[in-house]
A and B are shown apart, each in its own frame.
Chain A
Amino acid sequence: MNPPTLTLSAVSHTYGRTQALRDATLSVAPGEVVAVTGPSGCGKSTLLLLAAGVLRAQSGRVTVAGTELSGVDDTARALVRRRSIGLVLQFGQLVPDLPVRDNVALPLLLEGHPAADARAAADGWLDRVGLAVGPDTLPSELSGGQAQLAAAARALVHGPALLLADEPTASLDTRSGRALLDLMLATTVAAGGAVLLVTHDNTVAARADREVRLRDGVIEHEVALS
């Protein structure tokens, strides 16, 4: 059996005096889709940001594609993020000054791919997510839903080993949301990637192989769905 793509071992995190996550342990295997669910403020997004290496675990260990994020410096952590992780956050979070197309091409550009190839790949993914933009269209010209589509394209363009998505369909209508989720899951799983979805939407959670339920920063239960 292949080692997990993502492992969290006894991870805790506090913001000031507020404990957002306590002793969370979970793993996601290659080709597996795991949904983290729970009410608002239960620690779902914190868990995702820790898995992404955006937040540094204050205790416990986070391992992504064989690298323990807490054991390496910021540069090495950024490298794991860039190479192995695709991250889709709720509001897109695109770089405002870069054209949408370059935002999508960014993971490839940062890895030193020729600009023409990276932009061609970006065009391909923009087409797949169903977003038509000109070469100079800026993120400020997009609606919330369109920004989410662009963020998804950016997360998929480099074929990440780990796709992390926080409410990835929240700004989209039911049909577009479902189409985007189909694309994200099918593409990543077919390539042997692992997916961690953070959602409060049961219809999204029902797409996963396993549900991890959080409440008040603690994993309340974990159930297999497939």
Chain B
Amino acid sequence: MSLTELHLALLAGAPRHGYDIKQEHDAWFPDSRPLPFGQVYATLARLQRDGLAEVVETRVDGGPERTVYALTDAGDERLRAWLTEPAPPTGTGAEEIVRKTIAALHTGIDVQGHVARQRAVHLRRMRELGQVPPGASPAERLVREHLIAHLDADLRWLDLATDLLRSSPTPPERTHS
């Protein structure tokens, strides 16, 4: 989990307080779960403890006190190091589709219905993601493209799985050791 580095990236543009960081995160990743405030403050405290961020100002503008954090040199270095490492080429948490499809293929229970329903929910989601709100930033568009590309990959895999089933219509024999 790269929450630490992500917070460093969110601080890289300018010093920010916790509320700003949360807002910026949620704008960067419109499809992710919104970042809870508690997590932001806990992460900022950790960054400060580890010397990756520092408090540069405490603002009281009539409202609640707001602590403004900035990246330290060490924080900047850590962020850059993180960005030089490619992300691991793993899946994206879509394992449920793999489990269900493999189970449907093995058991032969309503495979066609499974494929139809899975295609429908995937295509609907791709359709929603393709409807980019006016004024969306290029970065927001890119996040949507990434999600669409993954959904597309799932569907192509589903095609391959059902094709394989058709070429060997009897469910594979279980081998018992």
Contacts and interface: CB of A to CB of B under 8 A. Distances in A.
Nearest to B128: A206
Interface stretch (B40-48, B63-71, B85-93, B119-127): B119-127
A203 B120 CA distance: 13
Contact of B126 (A203, A221, A224): A203
A202 B120 CA distance: 11
B155 A202 contact: yes
A111 B112 CA distance: 46
Interface of A: 39, 202-203, 205-208, 211, 213, 220-221, 223-226
B148 interface: yes
A152 to B, nearest CB: 19
Given A39-B159, A39-B163, A202-B156, A211 B119 contact: yes
A225 B123 contact: yes
Interface of A, helix, strand, loop or mixed by DSSP: mixed
Interface residues of B, number: 19
B130 interface: yes
Interface in B125-152: 126-127, 130, 148, 151-152
B155 A225 contact: no
B133 to A, nearest CB: 15
Contacts of A220: 112, 116
A202 B126 CA distance: 9
Contacts of A224: 120
B157 to A, nearest CB: 11
A110 B126 CA distance: 40
A226 B127 CA distance: 8
Nearest to A174: B145
A39 B155 CA distance: 12
A207 B130 contact: yes
Contact of A223 (B116, B152, B155): B116
Contacts of B127: 206-208, 225-226
Interface of B, helix, strand, loop or mixed by DSSP: helix
A3 to B, nearest CB: 26
A211 B112 CA distance: 15
Given A39-B159, A39-B163, A206 B123 contact: yes
29 contacts: A39-B159, A39-B163, A202-B123, A202-B151, A202-B155, A202-B156, A203-B130, A203-B152, A205-B123, A206-B124, A206-B126, A206-B127, A206-B130, A206-B148, A207-B127, A208-B127, A213-B116, A213-B119, A221-B116, A221-B119, A223-B116, A223-B117, A223-B119, A223-B123, A224-B120, A225-B120, A225-B124, A226-B124, A226-B127
- Which 7 residue pairs across A and B have the least CB separation, nearest first? A206-B126, A221-B116, A223-B120, A206-B127, A202-B152, A202-B155, A206-B123
Which one of A39, A206, A226 has the greatest number of beta carbons of chain B within 10 Å? A206
Contacts of A208: 123, 127
Contacts of A205: 123
A36 to B, nearest CB: 13
B107 to A, nearest CB: 19
Contacts of B122: 202
Contacts of A202: 122-123, 126, 151-152, 155-156
Contacts of A226: 124, 127
